[in-house]
A and B are shown apart, each in its own frame.
Chain A
């Protein structure tokens, strides 16, 4: 068998099938990523020449106050952005998924389709929509809060240093809650009825069945939702750029790694753009994402037993 295969003509068909896609993927995705890692080790001279400077870009970013203050600020803000998603978006998604999966629920498809709708729209559109709704000029939110008796608590949240980041995080949560809902809902549907019946026959309450049976079984999905959230959050840019501009105001209170990357690479107002410093920021973002993915693979793919359907 193997000898016959070995004598076969050169497998041109494999080249034909793999060639075009692989060529584009390697040139436009793999090569630029590796080249970005390489560029982060260089410094761009005034005349545009590149000189090798080893890790000096990174030591600037991490320790030189001019660079490190914005960098740690953006990293810290990004972490808060992620924590809000983990503590609010994913639990709400889980709750909605559990409710959607209740047996004999009417209007199930309508709820599912409508709650997922904002996820489909561009972050840019969503950013503007909420900017309008929260605007003290228009006053929709303010009037609503007066109506329910909370008018005194209204504030121009997007404009305040103390609340802008949290407000933007909540806008993002509002938009993307449909994704964890949908994925967890699918996982809940995948649990065989016999298992649930057995648990009910054993005398477990609905809450016990959820806690002891369903939750452990959907753990892999929750892990996947977490890593998807992580990657998306540490790669976010559009919402902040749309609502607060590239300067991520007020006073950089909403600056995250994506906006920092954009400013460092392109420059903005007084700051001159830098190819190599931009590459260094991208490299650090790459490392953050890599650590997240590695942690996920280690925690979830190895420890949690996959639930085979």
Chain B
């Protein structure tokens, strides 16, 4: 009918699309931007002109000095790092081993175990907190990072097994059969053939496992709340609760918690988004 219109129409449509997406992007970034910017300003400047960037006159690191002086941010940070890295290591190792066993071998109980693990994807481990605390105190693990590591391994395994199974299923049969004909043991097949092949999937699983662990407040609050064992999330929560009125310190501590995640996100966002959009978590 009309061939001239679509072109104009499309341009208008593209403009509206960009306007909406840009507006939403600003809404998403603005709060974080405000906090980071103000953490570098003097107390007076924070209140006088919250939206201004720090200038040579208003620039101040007093908040950061206070935070580093009055709390053990370095300890919190390394606790979080120890807990996340160890949990991820075991989730990947044990998760891949379980995924391999459940997809490769047919044995009695295979289906049952598979369903039990699948249930863990939907049912939050938090609901068992009462007994987890009992269990950890009977094992004398309360107030240790080990308690958190065990819980996070159990929390991360179901999704890891699920995602890795999907990838292990795609490994060509010929590879395994050829190795078996050469008399290679099952354990060696897994570690030398399968594991290297599913490495990209393991990166995705690592990112998915890391985020909830790093951000968790519930289990640190319950299992390891006392001095020297706090993770960064709990440390920030306690610190801000204690120094609510000291705006410089509050803003600085929030910035210290946000920036490492931002840097990691910038590095791994491709991995993460590819994982989310390739149907790894359907």
Binding site for B on A (CB under 8 A): 11, 13-14, 16-18, 20-22, 24-25, 27-33, 35-36, 39, 92, 95-96, 99-100, 102, 105-107, 110-118, 120-125, 128-130, 132-133, 138-140, 143, 174, 177-178, 182-183, 185-186, 189-190, 224, 227, 231, 235, 237-238, 241-242, 258, 261, 265-266, 275, 278-279, 282, 285-286, 289-290, 293
Contacts and interface: CB of A to CB of B under 8 A. Distances in A.
B187 interface: yes
Interface residues of B, number: 86
17 contacts: A11-B107, A14-B107, A22-B98, A24-B94, A28-B132, A28-B135, A28-B151, A105-B17, A117-B265, A121-B261, A123-B215, A124-B233, A124-B237, A128-B250, A132-B35, A138-B47, A282-B130
A185 B47 CA distance: 40
B215 A115 contact: no
Given A13-B186, A286-B127, 6 more contacts: A14-B107, A31-B131, A117-B265, A120-B211, A190-B279, A258-B126
B203 to A, nearest CB: 16
A113 B24 CA distance: 12
Nearest to A282: B127
Nearest to A29: B154
Given A99-B20, A117-B32, A17 B269 contact: no
B127 A30 contact: no
B28 A118 contact: yes
A50 to B, nearest CB: 11
Interface stretch (B53-61, B62-70, B113-121): B113-121
B277 interface: yes
B32 A121 contact: yes
Given A36-B131, A115-B28, A123-B217, A186 B279 contact: yes
B150 A24 contact: yes
A47 B125 CA distance: 29
Interface string B114-158: 001100101111111111101100000000000000110111011
B116 A30 contact: yes
8 nearest A-B residue pairs (beta carbon): A32-B128, A21-B94, A32-B131, A122-B215, A17-B101, A28-B154, A186-B277, A35-B131
The DSSP consensus for interface residues of chain A is helix
A82 to B, nearest CB: 15
Contacts of A143: 50
Interface string B210-221: 010011011000
Contacts of A282: 127-130
Interface stretch (B71-79, B169-177, B251-259): B251-259
A11 B276 CA distance: 36
A17 B29 contact: no
Contact of A32 (B27, B51, B132): B132
Interface string B18-29: 101110110111
Contacts of B161: 21
